[in-house]
Structure 1
Amino acid sequence: MPTDSAATVPPVIDLRPLIPPERHGMVFAALEQLAPGASFVLINDHAPIPLLRHIEQLWPGRFLSEWLKDGPVEWQIAITRAAEA
């Protein structure tokens, strides 16, 4: 019996083609649209540590990050919105 695997694959946000000033805004907009328990995969050309810190400052404890690929050419992080209590 076939399954709908597309429902389990999180969307991808690839920041590499964007100019740096546009990157954080795109991620913040995606975060605000993310339903509790949902996630997306962020792809970047460097480790987005300042971005992850900024997310935690704006929304303490609301989003979880999991490093999927840690360079040296491409970084991938799964970002999940915590389930609401």
Structure 2
Amino acid sequence: MPHDCSTPQVDHGVYAFDARGVARRFRHAAIFGALSVLTPGETMRFYNDHDPLPLLQQLSQHFGPRLHAAYLAREPGEVIIDFKIVG
């Protein structure tokens, strides 16, 4: 059975993005790209091994109030943030 990447299986509009598996030099570009294709109401659940404070500043400057960030976990070695696009 062929796989169709255009219709991924997601939990109520929440798309997982595990940055730990992306080469460091590509991470920010990949994250910006992933967030740019979300539609209002969709969420990217971001997994990382450290708290990405400089990235959060960059995202805030780029997306402004259209992007809401909420930490689900903020422990050393395990950071999970929900990024939600709002109308």
Same fold (TM over 0.5): yes
Asked if the contact 2:13–2:43 (Cα under 8 Å) also holds between the matched residues in 1, the reply is no
TM-score (norm 1): 0.84
Gaps of at least 5 residues in structure 2 are: 1-9
User: Among the aligned pairs, what percent are the same residue?
Assistant: 29
CA distance change for structure 1 residues 7 and 73 in 2, over 3 Å: closer, same or farther? Answer: closer
Which residue of the partner structure matches residue 52 of structure 1?
56
CA-to-aligned-CA distance 1:6-32 (integer Å, 9 cap, x gap):
442611100102221110111111111
Gaps of at least 5 residues in structure 1 are: 1-5
Query: Aligned pair count?
Result: 78
Query: CA RMSD of the aligned region, Å?
Result: 1.3
Asked if the contact 2:13–2:41 (Cα under 8 Å) also holds between the matched residues in 1, the reply is no
AA partner of residue 41 (structure 2): G
| Alignment counterpart, residue 77 of structure 1, candidates 46, 60, 81 | 81
User: Is 1:14 matched up with 2:18?
Assistant: yes
3-state DSSP of counterpart to 2:21: coil
